[in-house]
């Protein structure tokens, strides 16, 4: 059998089956749209809680400590928001690229994700340090000073955030390795 006939035979066998495809696209699109809106709403809500809460504390409590706290919170939150937007630059192109471009874009997205996680770790460290300094300053002039249990309870939040960030970093690195290996395999 010559090559052309062989290909024809393979094509005929391959296209023999003509499966129907009724994906419930509308439902799928609705769910996806809802998830995107939810994600945006949660991001906005978290920012609003931090920015609004610190501002509210500064206005209600009227002490210099709370003004300093509000300024620190605003600086940290706005830095995070600006970094998040700038880090996403160049990763929003449409999905209709050819495979080579798509793989390059996926690598860029994965690296941007890892940079964001690294930034999150530094930000967490900065927040913990700032809050520790602020608490030390604040409780030096106020009483009763919280007990060790309260401090340990407060430490749970950064520990959980740290654990989440480390899991994300491990996953991101694994995905980057797979993507790089696929790029080498497909495009040398």
Partner 1 sequence: MRRDYIPERGKMETVAKIEPFAAGAAVDRRALEEQCERLMREHGPSVVRLAAAYESNPANRDDLVQEIALALWKALHQFRGECSERTLVFRIAQNRALTHVWRRKQSPGELEEADEVPDSRATPESQASAGQLRDRLLAAIRSLPVGHRQVMVLLLEGMSHAEIAEVLGITEGNVAVRANRARKELRNQLGELR
Q: With CB under 8 A as the contact rule, which of the stretches 16-24, 37-45, 112-120, 144-152 interacts with partner 1?
A: 16-24
**148 lies in the site for partner 1, by CB under 8 A:** no
| H-type alpha helices, the chain | 3-14, 25-61, 64-87, 99-140, 148-187
Nearby residues of 68 by Cβ (< 8 Å), 6 or more positions away: 134
Determine phi and psi for 24, rounding to 5 degrees.
-75, 80
Both structure tokens of 26: 């509308």
Q: How many CA atoms lie within 13 A of 23 on its CB side?
A: 3
CB distance 96 to 128 below 8 Å = no
Q: With CB under 8 A as the contact rule, which of the stretches 40-48, 49-57, 82-90, 96-104 interacts with partner 1?
A: 96-104
**79 lies in the site for partner 1, by CB under 8 A:** no
Residue placing its CB nearer to partner 1 in the complex, 101 or 150: 101
**89 lies in the site for partner 1, by CB under 8 A:** no
**18 lies in the site for partner 1, by CB under 8 A:** yes
Nearby residues of 50 by Cβ (< 8 Å), 6 or more positions away: 73, 77
CB of 15 to partner 1, least distance (A): 7
- Contact positions toward partner 1, by CB under 8 A? 1, 3, 6-7, 9-11, 13-21, 23, 25-26, 28-29, 32, 94-103, 106, 175, 178-179, 181-182, 185-187
């Amino acid at each position: 059998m010559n090559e052309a006939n062989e290909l024809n035979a393979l094509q005929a066998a391959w296209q023999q089956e003509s499966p129907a495809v009724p994906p419930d696209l509308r439902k799928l699109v609705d769910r996806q749209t809802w998830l995107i809106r939810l994600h945006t709403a949660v991001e906005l809500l978290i920012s609003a809680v931090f920015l609004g809460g610190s501002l509210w504390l500064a206005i209600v409590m009227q002490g210099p400590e709370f003004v300093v706290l509000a300024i620190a919170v605003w600086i940290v939150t706005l830095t995070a928001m600006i970094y998040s937007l700038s880090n996403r630059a160049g990763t929003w192109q449409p999905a209709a690229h050819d495979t080579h471009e798509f793989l390059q874009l996926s690598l860029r997205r994965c690296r941007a994700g890892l940079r964001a996680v690294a930034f999150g770790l530094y930000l967490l460290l900065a927040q913990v340090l700032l809050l520790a300094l602020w608490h030390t300053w604040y409780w030096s002039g106020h009483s009763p000073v919280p007990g060790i249990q309260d401090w340990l309870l407060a430490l749970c939040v950064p520990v959980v955030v740290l654990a989440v960030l480390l899991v994300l970093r491990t996953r991101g690195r694994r995905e980057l390795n797979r993507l790089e290996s696929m790029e080498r395999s497909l495009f040398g």
